[in-house]
Amino acid sequence: MKSYLKKYSRRILSQVPIILVLLDLHYEGVDGLDKAESQKHLSRGNQLLNAGQLADALTQYHAAIDNDDRNYQAYYMRATVYLAMGKARLAMPDLNQVVQLQPNFVQARMQRGNLFLKMGRFNEAHSDYEAVLAHEDNAQATAKVDELRPLRRNVIKAHQLLDGNENAQAITLLNEVIESCPWNADYREMRSTAYEKLGDLRRAISDLKPTTMLRLDNTRAFLKMSFLWYNLGEVEQSLAEIRECLKLDPDHQECYAHYKNVKKLFKTLEAAKKVMQQNDWPEAINKFRKALKQESRVGALNVEIQLKICECYVKDNNPKEALIECNKVIEIDDRNIPSLLLMSEAHTQQADYEQAVEDLQKAASIDENYPGLGEKLKKAQKMLKQSQKRDYYKILGVPRNADKRTVIKAYRTLAREWHPDNFQGEEEKKVAEKKFIEIAAAKEVLTDPEMRKKFDAGADPLDPEEQQNSGHHHQGFNPFGGGGGFTFHFGGGGGGFHDEF
């Protein structure tokens, strides 16, 4: 709406030199009024307008009218400035005054007809254009009269289509009408209703927003927009709109009732987000569940809250519960990309890399340009490839976010279990030795920050082939060799195991 007004203002300003030529500057006023002083202010205003100084020109036109309230030229020029400033509502009374004082003033009739058309007041616009044509052969007025006929038909047909729930067809017709009548609130409300019925709530809101300027004290629009934002799951936006309604009418019962409901939910959600920032995941989950109880009817809100619960479980390294919550989102919206990203992360925590890649591939099939998705998919594919060779986390049975203490504890337990001295047969010893080497290698990588970082990025720091390709050389890992900080005894007594740190 604002961009349209700016464009219209520029068009008005571009016509200023023509307007000044067309005006009869030898205006004759009425006896008893200060005609000379009025004319002086009018001339000064025209000079300022021609220089683009709108506010100063407006002051001069005010003075011209104060000195002679029958100076139709001053009214016309003041209307021109109002239009150039995007204040059509103020321009209309001045144009009415011009037509009353000088019915045959073609420029005023044409300008007022154009305003009536933009307001969707077809009868008044038609009357002004016909008045112009009665006075002169005017191509622009003829074109406007021809434009009015299909617009009238489109409005009538759009009403019929909306009554028949044929919303898409109604929108097509209303697009044409609103293009010619951008300042008509009724037509925008009609199109908003059609968009709402089609489920396109954001466009419904976009059509309602200008009506808050086109209609004075439009509490109904603010209330409606608040409900639409709420149904989209945008609680903060909903709260902002309902507050605007209460600014216009603090005693508005519907607005106040909705305000209380939205404010209560908003406070609960904000408290939950604050707890999330403190990394208190269980408490955050409790608060989000409380929010779900407060509002369980709105699908979009449920999706947003369930996503937050899923995210908390992922952050809390509880992939099982995270997947349960994210699947609830998928049941509502199977194309929800944020949910698929969280599910991929949860599957990664479970070392189910194949499913993690599948989640991201599904997200890419929905929107391959989703921010960050490409990088996540590459990383997941690299981790899958890596897991098919050797997964140190899986070997020790620890999650990917395990700290050093957890890694060492898992290593000690498994090392004692699989120490070759615990086995008697030759084949059993070979299997145990291989397993023991894997356990020790996993411990070395996951307790070394640099090596762990490489592994998490998809490279195995103990794989000679990978290190050679990357330009780094590693001599390989042998827990039975010297200098490793470990002492192993393979005597027949069994249980002879020492580790040093």
Digit-coded pLDDT (tens) for 408-462: 999 999 999 999 888 888 888 888 898 899 899 999 999 999 998 888 877 888 8
Closest Cα to residue 310, out of 277, 276, 358?
276
Q: Which residues pair with 487 in a beta bridge?
A: 498
Show Cβ contacts of residue 160 under 8 Å, excluding neighbours closer than 6 positions.
none
Residues 28 and 68 sit within 8 Å (Cβ to Cβ): no
CATH of domain 2-194: 1.25.40.10
Q: What is the CA radius of gyration of the chain?
A: 38
SS3 171: helix
Which part of the chain is CATH 1.10.287.110? 393-499
CA dist 432 and 98 (Å) reads: 103
Tokens standing for residue 387:
């897991």
CA dist 497 and 493 (Å) reads: 11
pLDDT at 326: 95
Give the Cβ contact number of residue 15 at 10 Å: 15
Answer whether CATH 3.30.43.10 is correct for domain 393-499. no
Answer whether CATH 1.25.40.10 is correct for domain 250-390. yes
- The pLDDT of 383-388, averaged and rounded, is 81
pLDDT above 90 (res 11): no
In the chain, how many H helices and how many E strands?
27, 2
Which part of the chain is CATH 1.25.40.10? 2-194, 250-390
**Model-level pTM greater than 0.85?**
no
Residues 187 and 154 sit within 8 Å (Cβ to Cβ): no
Closest Cα to residue 117, out of 159, 176, 180?
180
Token look-up 């990309």 returns 337
pLDDT above 90 (res 277): yes
Banded model confidence at residue 7, pLDDT cuts 50, 70, 90: low
Banded model confidence at residue 477, pLDDT cuts 50, 70, 90: low
